[in-house]
């Protein structure tokens, strides 16, 4: 689409996403689910399927969940914990590279724990082994018992900072860091810094403090669906304890969608957390995986972890996300910054694979609605002007004519020191002898990085083409710092990576 999507596209949106969730419901991974498409923090399409509570009797029996039904969102909680930690960092309570043992002294008994920093834990680089089966059952562990557990010799199995290894334990430890730095319970700090300012009235850590419109959690046994008790708040709440609704999570996603838009951000009242920190959360701090792209010649798919959020690059663009899986529940939130689209999905079945469904739905939305897959490049007029001037210089008959004089005026002082003009004239002559008169091809120019542009030219003779790359200067982007000319085989041109570098 050449214009941004609006809520008037709701019917088209529903036609794309509904089949994904219908199929998920038919697969029988949860008694009920609810999902929404979010644009700039607003719900533009929401639908519930199945049953939020199989044991309900009376008028509410058999009711599907809706935008206000409360689910445990499990590991999506980590984004709330990370935002809280960064807010404390923003206010000078600690540095991210501070040793964790300064705040959690129980860790000093574990070998290697002294090297742990807050940054390591935030980015899943603490060296603790992946622990979903164990960690998901520690939700209501009492904090004194947790401190005793840490003091018994819990230690990283890998050197901190060496690699990504998803750790619920690490985020539980971050809860103790928050308590130590503030002198307040972790859940109270999150409420005061995030939930209350954002108006997330259906979000919190204790069921009794929230509205009664709740989904019961279930696990499928050989005898059918069995209800999973919802554990109370405890030491592992920082990794998975938040309960929330689609409507609240749409506002939460909207916070991240607004981070790149100063005008949108001005409407958000969040005194404890910087806009720059919300952007920082969404940017890869630690590589998770790189896999082969789908289809011949496709760019690789990349996944990284920021602060409490994953960042993905796929053929349909960059997305930011986190899943939640717990006994009784499965959830996912994912947004696509270039288009402003997002999908949030909650289900009341143990580890219901909402990640797969929501990702497929969002990718199809971007593609089928023709939304922008990537953010528009930063506007550097010098790049467009350079393309015209360099093309003229290469295609006209005088290498020292008016186009040459204009080109030299556009260059920063390093350019002729790097390659004297006489050498560039000699290269011009060699290109003319090899290719004949050059002209731009029909291939659109590409932007390998925000400050550079590449385009192709071809001459009258031969199959080889000329690849031209210019780059603006960092101190003054009205000037060029580089002009590179490279002859390439037609078959040797690779498609640009499907990443957002802007």
Angle between helices 10-26 and 354-368 (to 10 degrees): 150
Q: What residue ranges do the domains of the chain occupy?
A: 7-76+201-368, 80-187, 381-492
- Both tokens assigned to 111: 């070998």
Q: Classify burial at 101, counting beta carbons within 10 Å of its beta carbon; exposed 0-12, middle 13-18, buried 19 or more.
A: middle
CA distances from 419 to 7, 402, 422, 482 (A): 54, 20, 8, 10
Residue 293 contacts residue 299 (beta carbons within 8 Å):
yes
Residue 195 contacts residue 209 (beta carbons within 8 Å):
no
Who's near 306: CB < 8 A, 6+ residues apart? Answer: 123, 280, 281, 282, 283, 284, 285, 320
The three-state secondary structure class of 131 is coil
502 residues of the chain, pLDDT tens digit each: 334 555 557 889 999 999 999 999 999 999 999 999 999 888 999 999 999 999 977 666 789 999 999 999 999 999 999 999 999 999 999 999 999 999 999 998 766 788 999 999 999 999 999 999 999 999 999 999 999 999 998 889 999 999 999 999 999 999 999 999 999 999 999 999 999 999 999 999 999 999 999 999 999 999 999 999 999 999 999 999 999 999 999 999 999 999 998 999 988 888 999 999 999 999 999 999 988 766 666 678 999 999 999 999 999 999 999 999 999 999 999 999 999 999 999 999 999 999 999 999 999 999 999 998 988 888 899 999 999 999 999 999 999 999 999 999 999 999 999 999 999 999 999 999 999 999 999 999 999 899 999 999 999 887 889 999 999 999 999 999 999 999 988 655 444 433 333 3
Half-sphere exposure of 288 (CA within 13 A, CB side): 18
Residue 269 contacts residue 196 (beta carbons within 8 Å):
no
State whether CATH 3.40.800.20 applies to domain 7-76+201-368: no
Confidence at residue 60, expressed as pLDDT on a 0 to 100 scale: 63
* Cα distance between the two ends of the chain: 20
The CATH architecture one would assign to domain 381-492 is Roll (3.10)
Confidence at residue 58, expressed as pLDDT on a 0 to 100 scale: 65
pTM for this entry: 0.89
Confidence at residue 365, expressed as pLDDT on a 0 to 100 scale: 96
Q: How many of the other CB atoms lie within 10 Å of CB of 48?
A: 21
Positive or negative, the CA dihedral 312, 315, 318, 321 is negative
Distance, in Å, from the CA atom of 347 to the CA atom of 216, rounded to the nearest integer, reads: 10
What are 311's strand-pairing partners?
304, 320
Nearest to 358 by CA among 308, 309, 324: 324
3-state helix, strand, coil in the chain (%, to 5): 35, 20, 40
**What is the secondary structure of 9-38 as a DSSP string?**
GHHHHHHHHHHHHHHHHHTTS-SEEEEEEE
Nearest to 191 by CA among 203, 174, 180, 175: 203
Which pairing describes strands 465-472 and 286-291: parallel, antiparallel, or unpaired? unpaired
CA 289 to centroid of chain Cα atoms: 14
Who's near 201: CB < 8 A, 6+ residues apart? Answer: 211, 248
What are 349's strand-pairing partners?
218
Distance, in Å, from the CA atom of 164 to the CA atom of 139, rounded to the nearest integer, reads: 23
């Amino acid at each position: 689409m050449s214009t941004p999507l609006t809520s008037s596209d709701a019917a088209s949106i529903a036609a794309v996403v509904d089949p994904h969730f219908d199929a998920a419901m038919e697969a029988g991974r949860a008694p009920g689910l609810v999902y929404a498409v979010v644009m700039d923090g607003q719900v533009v399409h929401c639908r519930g399927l199945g049953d939020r509570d199989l044991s309900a009797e009376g008028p509410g029996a058999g009711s599907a969940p809706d935008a206000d039904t409360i689910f445990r969102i499990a590991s999506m909680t980590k984004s709330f914990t990370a935002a809280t930690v960064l807010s404390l960092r923003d206010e000078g309570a600690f540095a991210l590279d501070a040793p964790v043992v300064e705040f959690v002294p129980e860790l000093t008994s574990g070998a290697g724990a002294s090297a742990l920093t807050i940054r390591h834990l935030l980015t899943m680089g603490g060296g603790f082994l992946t622990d979903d089966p164990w960690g998901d059952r520690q939700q209501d562990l009492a904090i004194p018992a947790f401190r005793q557990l840490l003091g018994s010799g819990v230690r990283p199995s890998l050197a901190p900072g060496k690699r990504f290894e998803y750790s619920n334990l690490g985020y539980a430890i971050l809860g103790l860091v928050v308590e130590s730095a503030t002198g307040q319970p972790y859940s109270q700090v999150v409420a005061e810094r995030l939930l209350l300012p954002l108006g997330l009235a259906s979000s919190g850590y204790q069921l009794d403090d929230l509205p009664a419109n709740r989904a019961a959690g279930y696990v499928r046994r050989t005898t059918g669906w069995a209800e999973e008790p919802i554990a109370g708040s405890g030491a592992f709440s920082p990794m998975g304890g938040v309960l929330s609704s689609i409507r609240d999570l749409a506002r939460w996603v909207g916070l991240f969608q607004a981070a790149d838009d100063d005008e949108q951000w001005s409407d958000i009242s969040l005194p404890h957390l910087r806009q720059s920190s919300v952007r920082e959360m969404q940017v890869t701090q630690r590589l998770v995986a790189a896999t082969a792209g789908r289809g011949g010649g496709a760019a690789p798919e990349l996944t990284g972890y920021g602060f409490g959020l994953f960042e993905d690059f796929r053929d349909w663009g960059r997305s930011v996300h986190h899943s939640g899986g717990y006994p009784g529940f499965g959830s996912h939130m994912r947004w696509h910054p270039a288009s402003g689209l997002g999908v949030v999905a909650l289900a009341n079945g143990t580890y219901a694979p909402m990640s797969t469904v929501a990702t497929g739905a969002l990718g199809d939305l971007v593609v089928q609605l023709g939304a922008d897959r990537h953010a528009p490049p930063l506007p550097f007029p010098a790049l467009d002007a350079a393309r015209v001037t360099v093309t003229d210089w290469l295609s006209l008959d005088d290498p020292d004519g008016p186009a040459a004089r204009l080109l030299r005026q556009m260059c920063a002082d390093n350019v002729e020191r790097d390659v004297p003009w006489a050498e560039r004239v000699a290269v011009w002559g060699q290109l003319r002898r090899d290719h004949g008169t050059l002209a731009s091809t029909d291939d659109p120019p590409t932007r390998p990085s925000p400050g550079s542009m590449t385009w192709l030219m071809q001459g009258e003779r031969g199959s080889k083409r000329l690849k031209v790359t210019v780059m603006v200067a960092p101190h003054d982007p009205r000037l060029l710092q580089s002009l590179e000319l490279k002859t390439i085989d037609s078959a040797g041109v690779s498609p640009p990576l499907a990443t957002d570098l802007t």
